[in-house]
Amino acid sequence: MEMIKVGMADLKACKFPDALTTLGLGSCVGIVLYDPITKVSGMAHIMLPDSTKISNNSNIAKFADTAVDQLIKDMINLGANPTRFVSKIAGGAQMFSFSSKNELMRIGERNIEASKQKLADLKIPILAEETGENYGRTIEFYSETGDLRIKTIGRDIKII
Amino acid sequence: MSELNFDNIDSVQIDILREIGNIGAGNATTALSQMVNKRIDMGIPVVKITDFTELSEVLGGAENPIVGILLSVEGQINGMMMFILEQASAHTLINMLMGRELDAFESFSEMDLSALKEIGNIISGAYLSSLSSLTNLKIIASVPYMAIDMAGAILSVPAIEFGKIGDKALLIQTDFGEGGKENLYGFFILIPDMPSYKVILDSLGVY
């Protein structure tokens, strides 16, 4: 089994038995898509909610909307059937406890909302999530079991 | 001036941003030196333009615990200012301030955390006030906010801001330490929003 690393503003798809990981998610959101029959998996580490709001939007893995579309294409290329797709999401923390209503500071929350909206538009069910709060997360997705392992500093490992 | 983008920044603009970093960090180091009542030396600031995928590598990897102190900036320049320390450097700094053995690395007490926040406040304040006098622009900083967590998670906050402009981030690395031993490593990240870059460069007469 190989552990494939997904960077910031990056996405990867893989087949069984490989696993996917992204390190130190903060306000970004990790979106995992999974076909439970073929066990083809995909992970995106998105930074911003909406590609249509940004002029320099050539990096499609950076945005919730375009990253999910690309991930689906890559997974279909590996033999996945999109009608079976399920998802898990993690991240979207507010790393600094700003009291102000500054838009800049709500980015984690907006990334979560946008990810959920995109998945809802595509009718992909979200099986589990570990989002919000104020701490960083490292996530690992295992194609064999469909488990998403979440590691944090000073908290127990969580599996969703 | 055309829209600034770190994917194609020119050398004059880099020189200016480096000089801002130099003056700002110099003032901040002086402030720090007065605070701990010891001579603190500063290395030449390094201006780095990196892909944000590599941003956390600079700080020992995405999972390495770091201390981040963030202030939001308002006035004629809007954005954020961040001061980042590796955890070991944060301990050394606190120990210096509290007059303890420099290599005592217990967990941070409430008192330590509050002191650390104050250090961040003073250092960032000195940095911003030098930027303000250099550019003649009015800059107001918020109270400091602090987080101790994985480097990747903390840096996602500035990375997202830079992400709105392009795929690169600008950071100013400053090494400093006591009496010639530059054993503290800190980074300043000034994150003006898009219009503010133009305001800064315009105020210095760069087009």
For chain B, helix (H) and strand (E) counts, in that order, are 5, 8
pLDDT digits (tens, 9 = 90+) for B20-30: 777 887 887 78
Q: How far apart are CA A46 and CA A153, in angstroms?
A: 21
Which pLDDT score, from 0 to 100, does residue A158 have? 93
Among A74-78, B49-53, B101-105, which range has the highest average pLDDT?
A74-78
pLDDT digits (tens, 9 = 90+) for B73-119: 888 888 888 888 888 888 888 887 777 765 555 677 888 888 888 88
- Say which of A6, A11, A14, A28 is annotated catalytic: A28
How many domains does chain A contain in total?
Answer: 1
For chain A, give the mean pLDDT. 91
Determine the distance in angstroms separating the CA of A141 from the nearest CA of chain B, rounded to an integer. 17
Chain B interface includes A56 (CB < 8 A):
yes
Nearest beta carbon to residue B149 from set A59, A104, A136 = A136
pLDDT band at B7 (very low <50, low <70, confident <90, very high): low
The structural domains of chain B, ordered by start, are 6-203 (3.40.1550.10)
Q: Which residue has the higher pLDDT, A126 or A58?
A: A126
Inform me whether the pLDDT recorded for A100 exceeds 70: no
Place of tokens 């001061």: B83
A28 is an active site residue: yes
Instruction: Write out the residue range of the structural domain in which residue A88 sits.
Output: 3-159
Nearest beta carbon to residue A95 from set B65, B149, B166 = B149
For chain B, give the mean pLDDT. 78
Chain B interface includes A104 (CB < 8 A):
yes
SS3 label, residue B126 = helix
Q: A6, A13, A23, A18: which is closest to A145 by C-alpha?
A: A18
Chain B interface includes A66 (CB < 8 A):
no
Which pLDDT score, from 0 to 100, does residue A21 have? 96
Inform me whether the pLDDT recorded for A99 exceeds 70: no
Q: What is the mean pLDDT of residues A111-123?
A: 95
Q: What is the mean pLDDT of residues B143-164?
A: 87
Cβ within 8 Å, pair B5-A56: yes
Which pLDDT score, from 0 to 100, does residue A131 have? 94
* Percentage of residues in chain B having pLDDT higher than 90: 2
Q: What is the mean pLDDT of residues A88-98?
A: 90
Which pLDDT score, from 0 to 100, does residue B180 have? 53
Determine the distance in angstroms separating the CA of B114 from the nearest CA of chain A, rounded to an integer. 15
Which pLDDT score, from 0 to 100, does residue B102 have? 58
Strands A19-25 and A3-5: what pairing? Answer: parallel
The interface predicted TM-score (ipTM) is 0.88
Which pLDDT score, from 0 to 100, does residue A79 have? 93
Helix, strand, coil percent values for chain B (each to nearest 5): 45, 30, 25
CATH number at residue A105: 3.30.1330.200
